[in-house]
Chains A and B, each alone.
Chain A
Amino acid sequence: MHSKPWLASLLGAFMLGIAGSVLAATPLKFWTFLTVDSPDPRSAALKSVIEGFNKSQTEYEVQIQSINYGRIDNQVIQATAAGEGPDIINVYSDLLPMHIAAKTIVPVDAYASRMSAAEQSDFVMPLKLFQEGGKQMAVPWETRVWLLWYRKDLLAAAKLQPPKTLEELGEVAGKLTTPQVMGFAMGASTGNLGAGAYETFIPLLWAAGGDLTDAQGKATFNSEAGVKVLSYLHDLETKYQGMRSTVVSMTADDMVSSFKAGTAAMVIGGSYRVAAARVGLPADALVTASIPGWTAAKPSPARVAGQTLAIGASSKHPEGAWKFIQYYLSAPSQIAFAKAGVMPVRLSVYKDPFFQTPQGEETQRWAAYARESGRLTRTPTDFAKLSEGLARAIQEVLLKNADPKKALDAAAAEYNAQHKE
């Protein structure tokens, strides 16, 4: 009998191929706005989390796709409709209703229920805030809170103390304003979906006892509270002369750039931008504080939002997706992100020694502000229309001295007429 070594080799190679494909890790597509290849410390943190997960087990391999934050939601919706959506999606909390309506994500109750009661309550923002119809749709991995940013160097040069009330803010802004510098700035442009205007308006509206919408999703920002806030913004320009009407052309990005350039001394900005804003600034120039309230008794409520992780509707490996999500939320991952300037969501993580450092202590303060008075905005699916309408109302008042009540009534009426929820 002739031996056929070539046949044996071929069979062996075939069997190895089969075994290889069986043993090869199942790929999990993870779409996020963060990159792994950038000088940003968050990129390094994300890279370490993904590599850590892939090394910690052999069943799954996470493959990241980084998509610009302004485009990721459209691409997720598009891809899911084409059946090509990812397994794990990073969803911004404000846009969760939009993704739920577009059916890009599936409930995670089957997996979240495996978490112990202690684990489920170990979140800065309660998990129930990310439920829809009683179903858990996503879990947060990052918290962000809006704060008063002020340029310590500019206030010190003018021998001024940081404001504790909104009235003091107006007075301080007025004293800081020069032809080159605005004491206070906001992004009142309709650009970037009017987010700049919205982010400044909301905490003050809550502090005045109002809300953006009612339970049915109808706009209610034209209440007495809304009028009080818009009148105050107008007073910043006219009575205190601490802000100029040129803010109507500024987006949130422009506002931050102006702050960095020293042409705006105080702004209301998100905690997630602080680390990037400090690059290139003198040490300790950027200081954060709770947003002043109408009285010295308490600050304005903290507007809280965050990035969440959800399982994609197209995913064929939801179990693997949840495994990665759990790893992403683990203490080591959260601390890696905390060191990169991200506010963790797990309360227990704040006991880590890192939070005794100056950077960590600041993050603790933010978390405390979020816990004490934080509110998550439930945004409607047509949130962009609402925030742009609000920005236009602010512009009418700042540019044309329109009556705040009339401007807000018009914006609310326009939104309510087209709102379908």
Chain B
Amino acid sequence: MRSARRLVVGNALAGVGALAVIAIALLPVAWGLSTSLKPASQILSFPPKWLPDPPTLASYVQVWEQSNLPIYFRNSVIVTLAALVVALAVSVHAAYAMARFRFRGRNFVLVALLATSMIPGIAILVPLYDLSVHAKLYDSFAGLVIVYAAWNVPILVWLLRGFFESVPIELEEAARIDGCSRLRAFYKIVLPMSQPGLLAAAIMVIMFVWNDFLIAFALTISENRRLLSVGLYTYISNYGVEWGQLTAATMIALVPVVAVFFLLQRRLVEGLMAGALKG
């Protein structure tokens, strides 16, 4: 009886705590949404109003039709998808090798891979900039895609290695007995069975690239190559912060990531848990 009561109280406290965390996390977003829908006269009014009266899409029209936000949005989509393809293409093969092949120095390679992802981005930003200029990749999509893919590969290798190790080797052996090559068995057996892991990896890359500011800012200069995260800075001008436009642009930037996350969240959790258990 006492333990049942404790369980109920414990669950209630956990629920309250979770709600508090959600409220803290969502409050700025809610305020941003409210600001994006307010007429200019209400954005900085005091006392502050939660609800726009009347709500207006003027800020959204301004950022979408009178600024370069559509270009930044397009650029972010291109770079995110390209980086995703390259990162996955490299890391699935590397992870499979780490999972299945026994070779001298394998553990060292794994640790070294992980160690590289511990280096703070800002520490290598200047050499990256210099490298991109000398390689004529500065201010190009290719330069961004290469850097983003390289940045994510180490963590993806570790994540996917766990998934590949969880696929029973007997299935691959059975396929090879039936005439499949190793590579074909990898593509036909291992990869399909590792879907949760691949989706988890995909979400990690998408969220990283979409939200990144540092690399996008350092390695691009032209409007036609600017990503959304850097483009949002446009609304913080020398003449003041354009709060209505900034919040409208931010809401637009949130939509794809939130949509991807909601659609695939179950797979993400499955993927991360399975990878953690098996790895």
Contact = CB atoms under 8 A, between A and B. Distances in A.
Interface in A226-285: 253, 256-257, 260-263, 272-273, 275-277, 279-281
Interface residues of A, number: 36
Interface stretch (B81-89, B97-105, B194-202, B235-243): B235-243
A276 B239 contact: yes
Interface string B219-249: 0011100000000011011111110010000
Interface string A24-45: 0000000001010111101000
A356 interface: no
Interface in A60-95: 65-71, 75, 78-79, 82-84
A281 B66 contact: no
B66 A37 contact: yes
A180 interface: yes
Contacts of A42: 239
Contacts of B43: 280
A38 B241 CA distance: 13
Binding site of B, secondary structure by majority: helix, strand, loop or mixed? mixed
A66 B245 CA distance: 17
A280 B35 CA distance: 13
Contacts of B151: none
A412 B240 CA distance: 30
A360 B198 CA distance: 62
B44 A65 contact: no
Interface in B41-90: 41-47, 62, 66-68
Contact of B67 (A39, A70, A84, A260): A39
B173 interface: no
Contacts of B32: none
A75 B44 contact: no
B129 interface: yes
A160 B8 CA distance: 62
Contacts of A82: 129-130, 133, 138
B40 interface: yes
Given A38-B66, A71-B217, A75-B221, A273 B44 contact: no
Contact of B41 (A68, A71, A256, A281): A281
Interface string B1-27: 000000000000000000000000000
Contacts of A37: 66-68, 223
Contact of A65 (B40, B138, B222, B239): B222
A37 B237 CA distance: 13
Interface string A159-197: 000000000000000000000100000000000000000
A263 B46 contact: yes
B279 interface: no
B48 to A, nearest CB: 8
Q: Which of A40, A180, A279, A280 is the most central at the interface, judged by chain B CB atoms within 10 Å of its CB?
A: A280
Interface residues of B, number: 31
Contact of B240 (A65, A79, A276, A281): A276
Contacts of B217: 71
A71 B233 CA distance: 10
Contact of B221 (A38, A67, A253): A67
A80 to B, nearest CB: 12
A387 B62 CA distance: 36
A260 B44 contact: yes
A38 B238 CA distance: 13
A82 B137 CA distance: 13
Contact of A261 (B46, B129, B238): B46
Nearest to A269: B240
Contacts of B240: 253, 256-257, 273, 276-277
B46 A38 contact: no
Contact of B238 (A33, A65, A78, A263): A33
Contact of A68 (B130, B223, B236): B236
A65 B234 contact: no
Contact of B46 (A65, A84, A180, A281): A180
A68 B44 contact: no
A79 B41 CA distance: 40
B245 A39 contact: yes
Q: Which of A65, A83, A260 is the most central at the interface, judged by chain B CB atoms within 10 Å of its CB?
A: A260
B68 to A, nearest CB: 5
Contacts of A70: 233, 236
Nearest to A282: B41
Nearest to A181: B46
A68 B233 contact: yes
Closest 6 CB pairs of A and B: A280-B40, A69-B238, A261-B46, A276-B239, A280-B41, A261-B44
15 contacts: A33-B237, A37-B68, A38-B66, A38-B67, A39-B67, A65-B223, A75-B221, A84-B133, A84-B138, A257-B44, A257-B241, A261-B44, A261-B46, A279-B40, A280-B44
Given A37-B68, A84-B133, 6 more contacts: A40-B242, A83-B133, A84-B138, A261-B45, A273-B240, A280-B44
